Structure 1
Amino acid sequence: MNMSLQFEFPVNLTAENFIVKLSHEVSTRLASRQSSRKTYYDSFDWRLYSNDITCEFNQAKSASSLTLRSIKNGLVIADAELKKVPLFSKAFDPGIIRDTLAPLLEMRALLPVCTLDYEIYHLNIINKDEKTILRLLIEEYSQFNNRVLLQPVRGYDKAEEHIVEILTATLGLTVTDKPVLLTALQVQGRKPKDYSSKLNINLDPDMRADIAGKYIYSHLLKAIKANEQGTIADTDSEFLHDFRVAVRRTRAGLSQIKGILPANSSAYYADFFSWLGQITGPTRDLDVYLLNFERYKSSLPVSIREDLNPLYDFLLGKQQKSQKELAKKLQSPKYLSTLAEWEQFLKEPSYKKPLEQNAKLTIKELADRRIWKIFTRVLEEGEAITDLSPAEALHDLRKSCKKLRYLMEFFQSLYPENQIKCLIKNLKGLQEVLGDFQDYAVQEHNLKLFSEEMMALNIHANTFLAMGVLVQDLDAHRCNARKDFASRFEDFKQEENRSAFTSLFAPAKPHSHRH
């Protein structure tokens, strides 16, 4: 047995009683006892937990350390002494901890999930020769059952088996593999992964369309509210990103799930969410430039890379200013009262006999109709694009693809899972190339505007040279995306994909009688 073994105490057993009882059975020596505080960390969307890792920061009087553990077997992946926990993985010293965290967390901040104060006892079990044959780590908690962790000593396997027998049979402890984090969250009435940016809406196909629509909007409102504070505080760039996605999805719903809500309400809230899209746009664009900055640098010849640095400072200054303005707007009466109205509107019971033409349909009927309609629009718009079409044609197609994607995601629970997932994946492929084309064009355009603003700031000419090279690089990428479009669209409109869409969403054809 070379794994670390964890046991849970029965309900009312204190650490001191346990030590007394155990010393009737074997010789023990208490090495130390100290108060400690354990804080669990993860990103807001549980990226570590989702990858079976817990991250705990332990603070005792003498020292503090960070430990990454595997949830599966409780084994330590890495640990290091640390005074305090950095907000971002790139701020850790090079080493296993940073190498483990960076690819999982990416741009997300490491935030405290919960904090536990507890007593920690180091107890050694000794043999006749006064040699330590097993170490016990006892954790005494105030809110839930205490625990002990066995730390085997090499060469004394028999002792370990004997002690496990005493702990379970004589003292009534139970083996546990449940991380303390789960128990601690339960006490707070929470559970891990209680926030995810993925849409997971379960609809009943026979649900009335207006009721299902409100259900979808309520789900999106939860996401908007969950990301509001992190967006205002600028904790990390993903809060604003998820906030915007929930706003965009809401707008797509209001424009695409037609005829289920009273027209005047629909128009009123469509205006509000459109305003929200506008006020959050500039900050998000600047976030994206900052996130892309290392990539921008590495696309340049080594000799001029560092010349690009003044652009970073310029963008950061702009981002901070834009962020402050956004935070003000998200605390304004207009935002707070309209969002509260929307929440109230979604809670109101639906009329027994709604007036809107689609409200009485089942959500499945409406979903079929809307998805089929937008799918045929995507095919028509795509077919019409040639090598000579203006950029706008690709931008319009991109918007239609987005609408189709949001509809398919809203309603995916109404269709066989593997089929709808596969169709969404094919659509993603087309969206990626359209998105790249758009992003490169916008970045190229904005870099030119930035350089005009920077002219007034006495910035060295070399920086403008480097920015010129960057614009060229973005332009090459844009042309490549444009070239890739044709083949991606070919893939999307091939017979197999079309017939899959047809079988899931197309209206049933009336039978024609042949003479």
Structure 2
Amino acid sequence: MGRLIEGELQQVLRLQVTLYACRERLLAATDPEALHDLRIALRKLRSLLQPLRGLPACAALQQQAAELGRSSGPLRDLEVLLAHLQRLGRRDAVNLRQSRLLGGYAALLASAALPALFGALDQWPQLWRQAAADAELRGLAKRVRRRLAKQQRRLAEALVDPTHDRHRLRLLIKRVRYGAGAYPTLSGLSAKTLARLKAAQSALGDWHDLLQWLQRAEQEADLAVCVDTWRMALQAAEETADLALLALQEEFTKTG
């Protein structure tokens, strides 16, 4: 097999080991970073697979990875909120939601999403090797490079759109940044561009969290005490995000 094909195989196998370890940490229920680390490994896996969309060998694994990403997302959002409330000293609000968080861990571990992902991971190496033997992976580097370039073009176009939506930009930035992380030699992005992608993603992440918390406060009365603080922080986060997006736009305009 070619270097890229073999490298893809080795990366997925390493991520499989990491995901198994994260599951065991979740089962032990003593590690507050277990879910976070599981989602990081899952994000790396999905970033490796995304440019390979359309290859039959990857279809099942892509589907199961996406499903676990969707099902674990709200639980991670709750973790982030509880950590923030803890920093604010809102112990009552944390205690009220702690059982919901623990129940969420149990539900995730009991769901079909984890075993389905691990089943797809077990089957994938054979499918990948067979695809290579059948010449289905011919021109893989060109395929990946083309897909990454398309993602970058979409982001560049969205950045100059005067009606741009921060939610969409956040998703586009994550896809471009994580794609570059998965294929650093094929992305064509400079270290400076990657740094600005990271800064913009971080700023938009802070904005997104605050927006979510304000929406929660409309339904969860005990969070009302935080609303004024969150509204002020949201305004500042919007300004920070817009500056980061402007810097990113300049970078893409310069390199485009």
Q: TM-score range by the shorter chain?
A: 0.7 to 0.9
Counterpart amino acid of residue 184 in structure 2 = Q
Which one of 91, 109, 134 corresponds to residue 353 of structure 1? 134
Unaligned regions of 5+ residues in structure 2, if any? none
Tell me which residue corresponds to 2:220.
450
Counterpart amino acid of residue 240 in structure 2 = D
1:460-479 superposed matches below 5 A: 464=222, 467-479=223-235
Name the SS of the counterpart of 2:133 in structure 1: coil
Which one of 274, 280, 283 corresponds to residue 66 of structure 2? 274
Deviation string 1:148-191 (CA, Å, 9 cap, x unpaired) is xxxxxxxxxxxxxxxxxxxxxxxxxxxxxxxxxxxxxxxxxxxx
Tell me which residue corresponds to 1:384.
161
The answer as to 2:118 corresponding to 1:336 is no
* Displacement of 1:421: 3.5
Q: Is the 8 A contact 1:218 1:343 kept in 2?
A: no
Tell me which residue corresponds to 2:101.
319
Q: Is the 8 A contact 1:232 1:326 kept in 2?
A: no
Tell me which residue corresponds to 1:222.
17
Counterpart amino acid of residue 296 in structure 1 = L
* Displacement of 1:338: 4.7
Counterpart amino acid of residue 3 in structure 2 = M
Deviation string 1:325-361 (CA, Å, 9 cap, x unpaired) is 22322xx5x6335513422322452433334xxx211
Counterpart amino acid of residue 378 in structure 1 = L
- Superposed CA RMSD in Å reads 2.8
Deviant stretches of 4+, over 6 Å: none
Which one of 190, 193, 198 corresponds to residue 428 of structure 1? 198
1:396-407 superposed matches below 5 A: 396-407=168-179
Q: Residues of 2 paired with 1:414 and 1:379: CA distance?
A: 18
* Displacement of 1:258: 3.4
Tell me which residue corresponds to 1:310.
92
For the pair shown, the structure with the greater C-alpha radius of gyration is 1
Name the SS of the counterpart of 1:431 in structure 2: helix
User: RCO (CA 8 Å, sep 6+): is it higher in 1 or 2?
Assistant: 2
1:136-215 superposed matches below 5 A: 207-208=3-4, 210-215=5-10
Q: Residues of 2 paired with 1:214 and 1:369: CA distance?
A: 20
More helix by share: 2
More strand by share: 1
Q: Residues of 1 paired with 2:182 and 2:63: CA distance?
A: 21
Name the SS of the counterpart of 2:30 in structure 1: coil
* Displacement of 1:408: 0.7
Deviation string 1:5-39 (CA, Å, 9 cap, x unpaired) is xxxxxxxxxxxxxxxxxxxxxxxxxxxxxxxxxxx
Tell me which residue corresponds to 1:241.
36
Q: Residues of 2 paired with 1:213 and 1:258: CA distance?
A: 14
Deviation string 1:179-219 (CA, Å, 9 cap, x unpaired) is xxxxxxxxxxxxxxxxxxxxxxxxx9x635x5444343323
Comparing 275-284 and 376-385, the one that deviates more = 275-284
* Number of residue equivalences: 254
* Displacement of 1:431: 0.9
Unaligned regions of 5+ residues in structure 1, if any? 1-203, 298-307, 452-463, 503-515
Q: Is the 8 A contact 1:233 1:327 kept in 2?
A: no
Change over 3 Å in CA distance of 1:207–1:442 after alignment to 2: same
* Displacement of 1:415: 7.7
